[in-house]
Amino acid sequence: MNRRQKTIEKPSTLEGIGLHTGQRTRVTIKPACAGTGILFLRKDAPEATPVRAEVEQQLDIEKYPRRTSLSSGDYPIHTVEHLLSALYALEIDNVLVEVEGEECPGMDGSSLPFVEIIQQSGVKELPETREILKVKEPIYISENGSHVVALPAESLKVSYTLDYNHPFLRSQYASFTVAPEIYTRELAPARTFCLEEEVEKLRALGLGKGSDYNNTLVIGRQGVINNTFRFEDEPVRHKISDLVGDLALLGAPLAAHIIGIRSGHALNTRLIRKLRELQKRERAVGIGASSLISLNAHSLNVDEITGIIPHRYPFLLVDRIVELQPDKAVGIKNVSINEWFFQGHFPGRPVMPGVLIVEAMAQVGGVLMLSKTENRGKLAYFLSIDRVKFRRAVTPGDQLRLEVQVLKMRSKTGQVQGRAYVQDRLAAEALLMFTLMEP
């Protein structure tokens, strides 16, 4: 049960007002290669670094309520949930989202405008396969009368019960399988909402500065103020759409039945953290964890990489393995201006040291050899480096694609051809020979 990774065919841009900051903001969604994930970058801040849309990068819900926010270095990116929801539901795995401003534009208060520009950009299938996570046993989280549950399922389904003590907005229930066509038709058009009595409180908190009756459904005691529902149960559908956006912070597609009862961003985040914890536990022990398993062993994230080779920060130079075959491995290294080696290596004109490019290729080679059953637990040491050539400089902002091909493999030694590319242009190459030893 796996599928190929996807990106978009061409860049697309949306511009509008942020729902909470009230500032005019702009997002440009760009294609990215396999293994990149969903990256956000504050384009208006030269010092900002790309941030992956994963729960570890999420800003404190208590400090930034009623939205999902990420941190790009010291620069926040607020209200990412509508865009993330669209990307996740349309199965887009790899993009770079450049944001000019502190917040994603609110548009009409739904994820539909993001769905439409993604569709206009075109969806591109990549040859690399995508890791899918499957819940095996129930996970239950509860707090102050709100609940969220993850149950085993063969695909992603989300059910939600909305229950307000309100004369107009009464209990609503909806349940949908999250597939591109269903999401686009049934969930994407659903807009954000609030109760009329909440408006002043939100304003006092500095929220909703860009909200109006067009992009936010304001629900009074007699009905929707200056607007009408697109669906009879539009509020609960929006809750499901938001929950899908939060699930994107898991960093991988999920096969599960998620049930929310009055849950919001805070409780959703606790569920995602629990899923991540189980995922890491499984990878650490190398066997199926109690509640979650990986369905695709042909790609590895950083936790799985560190379960195979002994390298750790700051000397781990591979962010992700996007292809792992018996005789070939492909790794990704995102080169950031914050890398430790840029502090002293041509600091006025930062260039990644060539020896570290070779080391990055060697680490991919180490994963390739040590991932084999007969070599697990061993260590790989250099025997020789030959025919090293550096073709172009690697600078901050580049993404290295590290390809390693087995040339010879014996019980105690191996020789591989390593090549490093930046945007399909060869940056470096070398012949690497290793010896395998017991620790």
104-158 pLDDT, tens digit per residue, is: 999 999 999 999 999 999 999 998 888 788 898 899 999 888 999 999 999 999 9
- Is 82 inside any structural domain? yes
Q: Which domain-ending residue is among 259, 285, 311? A: 285
* Nearest by Cα to 50 from 298, 252, 272, 319: 319
- Is 189 inside any structural domain? yes
Indicate if 345 belongs to the active site: yes
- Is 358 inside any structural domain? yes
Query: For residue 67, what are its two tokens?
Result: 């939205």
CATH number at 14 reads 3.30.1700.10
Is the separation of the CB atoms in 374 and 307 below 8 Å?
A: no
- Is 158 inside any structural domain? yes
Domain region containing 70:
3-285
Q: Judge if 240 and 317 occupy the same domain.
A: no
> For residue 277, how far is the Cα from the chain centroid?
16
Q: Which domain-ending residue is among 254, 285, 316? A: 285
Is the separation of the CB atoms in 218 and 242 below 8 Å?
A: no
Q: Which domain-ending residue is among 224, 254, 285? A: 285
C-alpha distances in Å from residue 224, one per residue of 207, 216, 241: 20, 10, 20
Per-residue pLDDT tens over the stretch 64-92? 888 899 986 688 999 999 999 999 999 99
Annotated active-site residue in 78, 238, 265, 298: 265
Say what the pLDDT of residue 284 is. Answer: 46
Q: Judge if 265 and 307 occupy the same domain.
A: no
Q: Judge if 109 and 153 occupy the same domain.
A: yes
Q: Of 4-13, 298-307, 387-396, where does mean pLDDT reach its minimum?
A: 298-307
Q: Judge if 261 and 355 occupy the same domain.
A: no
Query: Residue 43 class from Cβ within 10 Å (0-12 exposed, 13-18 middle, 19+ buried)?
Result: middle
Strands 51-52 and 172-177: unpaired
Q: Judge if 139 and 175 occupy the same domain.
A: yes
Say what the pLDDT of residue 124 is. Answer: 94
Q: Judge if 41 and 144 occupy the same domain.
A: yes
DSSP string, 259-317: EEES--HHHHHHHHHHHHHHHHHHHHHTS--SSEEES-TT-B-HHHHHTTS---TTS--
- Is 123 inside any structural domain? yes
- Is 333 inside any structural domain? yes
CATH number at 421 reads 3.10.129.10
Tell me how many domains the chain contains.
2
Say what the pLDDT of residue 298 is. Answer: 60
Q: Judge if 280 and 307 occupy the same domain.
A: no
Is the separation of the CB atoms in 134 and 293 below 8 Å?
A: yes
Q: Judge if 253 and 306 occupy the same domain.
A: no
Indicate if 166 belongs to the active site: no
Which pTM was predicted? 0.67
Q: Judge if 244 and 314 occupy the same domain.
A: no
Say what the pLDDT of residue 190 is. Answer: 96
Q: Judge if 21 and 149 occupy the same domain.
A: yes
- Is 293 inside any structural domain? no
Per-residue pLDDT tens over the stretch 281-326? 655 444 333 444 443 446 788 877 887 888 887 888 999 898 888 8
Per-residue pLDDT tens over the stretch 255-268? 999 999 999 888 99
Residue type, 368: L
Q: Judge if 185 and 276 occupy the same domain.
A: yes
Residue located via tokens 């061993």: 378
For residues 335-364, average pLDDT:
87
Q: Judge if 319 and 220 occupy the same domain.
A: no
- Is 290 inside any structural domain? no
